[in-house]
Amino acid sequence: MSDASVPSPARPRSRLRPRFSLLTLLLLIAATASWLAYWRIAKRTERIRAELPGLREIARRLIVEDPAQYAAVQQHSLWDDDFRWRVYLPPQHRYQVHLATDAVDHRGQPTPVASASIPPGKHELELRSRKADDHWQIDVVIDDEVRLSDTRPLEWNPRRGSSGASEIRTLRQSLTTQPLSLFRRRFMMDDSGQWNVPDGPTNGIALWIDTDNAGDTNHVVIPESP
């Protein structure tokens, strides 16, 4: 019997195996590492952005994000009635700081008892109010110099309570078309035996900054035609 009639055993099929060169493997590792690094940086950036408002609150730094706007932040209080601010005033105007000690309403600016000019740029302001033997002394310090002062009788502040205080705490930017209000406090007064803060104007303290049109470099006075 011929051997040709006997079928040969079937050969097992070889499985296809993916083949990677060393260069391909290195590129894959580098791409994976780059993606992981990017992912970690993105997560860290997201966390820092979430923490940024809290960090600004702790630092109370004056940050000027728009140089055409007011910027102001209150400094941390070191004692009771410690009111200090850092402010930035844009260069396109000149400004005045105003102090009022009576007819202080809920909003708006009362008639000031004292005003002082202040140039554009960064400044530090402090409001001081203290009781002497026979009067109250109110001072506004600008860049370590007392620039505004007022003296009021003892009954001006009966020390029965008040409403309001600093109108700026954390960093704030605002347009120069409106006054930059720093402080507003209204005192309680005796109303038929009841001590309340009146609904209307009353004794208190208001401190604000506004543009000085008379000294404004952008303010042009056009004479009337003859």
* Placement of tokens 């002082």 in the chain: 116
Identify whether 42 is part of a domain: yes
Clarify whether residues 85 and 38 are in a common domain: no
Identify whether 188 is part of a domain: yes
pTM for this predicted structure: 0.70
Clarify whether residues 198 and 103 are in a common domain: yes
Q: Residue 30 — pLDDT band, cuts 50, 70, 90?
A: confident
Clarify whether residues 140 and 49 are in a common domain: no
Clarify whether residues 180 and 110 are in a common domain: yes
Clarify whether residues 155 and 117 are in a common domain: yes
pLDDT tens across 176-219, in order?
999 999 999 999 998 877 899 888 999 999 999 999 875 554 43
Look up the domain containing 132 and give its range.
70-215
Clarify whether residues 41 and 106 are in a common domain: no
The H or E element spanning position 172 is strand 172-174
- Top pLDDT among 224 and 206 is at 206
Clarify whether residues 138 and 42 are in a common domain: no
* Placement of tokens 């406090």 in the chain: 185
Cα–Cα distance measured from residue 100 to residue 69, given in angstroms and rounded to the nearest whole number: 24
Report how far apart, in Å, the C-alpha atoms of 183 and of each of 47, 111, 175 are: 34, 15, 18
